[in-house]
Structure 1
Amino acid sequence: MGRPELPVDETVRERALLAKALRRIRRKARLSYDELAAKTGLSAATLKRAASGKTVPSEDTVKTIATACGQDPEILHWYWRDARIADRGRLAQLRKPALPQFINGRRELSAALEYFYEDAGAPPLRRLTELAGGAHLLPVSSAARIVSRQALPASRQQMIAFLTACGHPGHLMGLWGDAFEEITRGSDVGRMPSVIDGSYVPYEQGGRPVRVALQYMPPVVERRGDRRMVTPPEGWLISSTELERRGATRLLSTEGWPVGTIEVIGNSIS
């Protein structure tokens, strides 16, 4: 009978969760470390270290173990991502980017790209290139300069390839591509679409739906040197109570509207 496995190192919670998940799928597959080593081609020592909680194994190692244990590697990916983020500690030091419509200049765009890279778990650069679709879309050297804020992508296509590699939501790709083109070519035309005045924002107050009248205008974008200066959108709420104002303000802020630009101008609800 083999020696009992050491307890998972709990120093970093996310690393511990990954280690426990790896142990769980191995036990479910009823494989010893030696048997798992034979199936994966990895050494038993490497497998034990991956499930120790003391370090974050490579994503390839995690996927190999998952496949050998008959599990979907994608399930383990999120454990790996969270463990990698916690282990690096860099993401916590970065500010979450604004919506692409509000990115001002090269510096903010570069910072946004670093955030997306760290939020993806900061995969090795060669892996990032693979996820982007190949070196013809995102060379390793270009990826290195982008994640270190030394350069922006060379083209809109490379920008999209980088975001794809970072797992960024597809429905925002076009907006980020537009932001890249405006910033790099110096266009001073704003992209935020106008919204019809007098629309209504629905939300719940004490179990009953409340409609709050809303009027706002798109932001104004002007160019000063190499920076796009964005004047935030102006918004006005017509609400009958402070509670309703707070609720609508909260809802709008989740959509990217700066809370400071929302102002109550009436005391009735249509």
Structure 2
Amino acid sequence: MGRRENPIETTEPALSRLAAWLREQREQAGLTYSQLAVRTNYHATTLQRAASGRSLPSWKVVEAVTGECGGDLKTARRKWVHANYWAHVPRPSGSRRLRAPRRVDPQQVDSFADLRRAMHEMRRKADWPSLRELDRRARDRGGRLPSSTLALVLKGEAPLRKPVFLAYMEVCGVREARRALWAAAWDRTNNARTPFPVNSRTYQSEFTRAMQSSSAGTSTDILFRLWMTLRTNLAADRDDGPGHSGAAGRGGTDDNPPVLV
């Protein structure tokens, strides 16, 4: 059977289990990677990479290996879907959880992080269409969901705007009644982010109070952050005149507010 394989490289449990399972199927079938390559029409290097744990293999590769090795396709699909889920949704820091999180309830979400987790779940139920495929579906409906923008939204690196959220649910095949519940969840979450007006005056008073108490132990780090926040909000206030829209803190990002003294 050739030389012993290198240890599986991934630190992601679901991907590690998929790689180990693929190795087990090949070994039980008594095939080398070269022999399996002939049968599957995939290069031996591709098959070795699929079982290495370095990256998530495509379902087509997993399906081909499983079929030629006489493995159970339902088991293969379940393991691949699980690994694919965690490839798109990073685990919380320090998590050793082996199962995907439970279904997110739209009536209980209280953050845009929850909404993004729900978006990943919607995509999983739609059989993980590519971002380009989602954009194509949106275009067919007269809209747009640029894949580059959507990628940033799903990673939390761009605001989750309501039109994007609504279009995303539609192209993922979410039922209309369910979409209405999620739309209400977006409204509730977005409104909760700005319970009272926050502007430069708010931060100016906080900065003044912090300066007055600096001799009592207020750290220079906090003072510096307050000063930078004050400068930013002064600039925002200047831009927030006629012809400018958008209150600070709204729009679907998960940035934490500055720490006040």
The structure whose RCO (Cα within 8 Å, separation 6+) is larger is 2
More helix by share: 2
More strand by share: 1
| TM-score normalised over the length of structure 2 | 0.48
| TM-score normalised over the length of structure 1 | 0.47
